[in-house]
A and B are shown apart, each in its own frame.
Chain A
Amino acid sequence: MSEIKIETPLNLDKIKDLKAGDRVYLTGTIYTARDAAHERLVNQIENKENVPFKIQNATIYYVGPCPAKPGEVIGSAGPTTSYRMDKYTPLLLDKGLKGMIGKGLRNEKVIDSMIENKAIYFAAIGGAGALISSCIKESRIIAYPELGAEAIRELYVENFPLIVAIDSKGNNLYNR
């Protein structure tokens, strides 16, 4: 198992050699979005409205964090199960989304679209929300504040420990 450090924004050069099973430490800006935020993002794209962040080369983290205690950046912030976002994902990939962070299985449409658009899917450790929160150095709500935990946040992460679950060629660690 190799350990690799990479920085966002991702691009083809940074991800093309990453293989399912590689351990990666990710640093840089990423965006949170889960069920409700995905529905809104996709509706805005379909209605040709502006979306809250640039999708091209972005990385989305499927998470709904706990509220921050006073003096803290964020509360517990582990990944949520990714398959619920599958319905919305191919459109985001077509718009240039490069990285996704979550946990669990993806459907065939998502994997086909990942191969076509050369994108990558990382697994974070589900249920390790306290540990992961220590890698999050900045957090700011940038859209849909009324959604509470489901609002879109811009996060700055340092050495976020991830495992490549599905690489840009469609190799799937869950199918070994």
Chain B
Amino acid sequence: MREISTTIIIEKVKEMCISANRNLGKDVIDKIEQSLREEKSLIGKDILEKLLENANIAKEKQMPICQDTGMAVFFVEVGQNLVISGGSLTDAINEGVRQGYKEGYLRKSIVGDPILRENTNDNTPAIIHYDLVEGDKLRMLFAPKGFGSENMSRVAMLKPSDGIEGIKDFVIDTVKKAGPNPCPPIVVGVGVGGTMEKACLLAKKALMRNIGIYNKKSHISGLEKELLKEINKLGIGPQGLGGNTTALDVNIEVFPTHIAGLPVAVNLNCHVARHMNIEI
């Protein structure tokens, strides 16, 4: 049995909240630079240049890339031979979020009740998804998720007969309907299979993957590439003002499903596609 103290977890979560919100990942920056070279619209080029300038300012001044520093979403893999000492893991993650959002001057965007809507003032609670895995490590994937793009996300319970064409149509229709609202160029996370909630979780998890990394299954990676091409033909462009850079990437995750169903979830992310992971 290996032991990790909640003190360490709080510290790591705090650092991750601050760093992910200030330092745009190299995968995203590289892809925006590539898109800038390939973008045909003048206004689109201008916007992509400003996005790179913005990421630079954020890094240099160590301030948030975007004012929507998001709802804190975690996928946590807990090794079953691991003992957490000093309190509950959930409390430790929330404490890390609380400290990170305060000390990092990040925006507190969470209301404690969806109807009464009073701000919790510390950006908690986080959304935490746990997986119990083999081993004695603690692995955390973190994404501060903005809601401009979250609000444009959708789920559909397709029929098996809808097949791959049904999946493509639904993904493209979701991107079209979203238009300028999710801050394109976007990252498109797609979850296919499982049950309704599993498809949504897969779509969210797909957003945790680096841009340019494809699904290991060749029939899925083929679909990712095809969808990216189709989406970039829609003409939505940077900020929805026209151009051929509508999406930076399409990431698809799949899971076994029922003989009667084909759940598909599409979770959109803006160009500030923040995600980090650590292993303790």
Contact = CB atoms under 8 A, between A and B. Distances in A.
Contact of A66 (B42, B47, B105, B151): B105
B107 A64 contact: yes
B57 A134 contact: yes
A129 B61 CA distance: 12
Interface residues of A, number: 40
B180 A129 contact: no
Contact of B270 (A126, A174, A176): A126
A6 interface: no
Dominant SS at the A interface? loop
Interface in B67-89: 67-69
Contacts of B66: 76, 78, 127-130
A79 to B, nearest CB: 9
Given A66-B64, A77-B67, A148 B51 contact: no
Given A67-B105, A126-B239, A149-B107, A81 B64 contact: no
Interface residues of B, number: 39
B105 A75 contact: yes
- What 7 pairs across the A-B complex have the smallest Cβ distances? A126-B183, A130-B58, A131-B54, A104-B181, A76-B67, A129-B67, A128-B54
Interface of B: 42-43, 47, 50-51, 53-55, 57-58, 61, 63-69, 105-109, 117, 119, 121, 148, 151, 179-181, 183, 239-242, 270-272
24 contacts: A64-B107, A65-B107, A66-B63, A67-B105, A67-B107, A75-B64, A76-B69, A78-B67, A104-B180, A104-B181, A123-B180, A123-B239, A126-B148, A126-B239, A127-B270, A128-B53, A128-B66, A130-B54, A130-B63, A130-B64, A148-B121, A163-B241, A174-B180, A174-B240
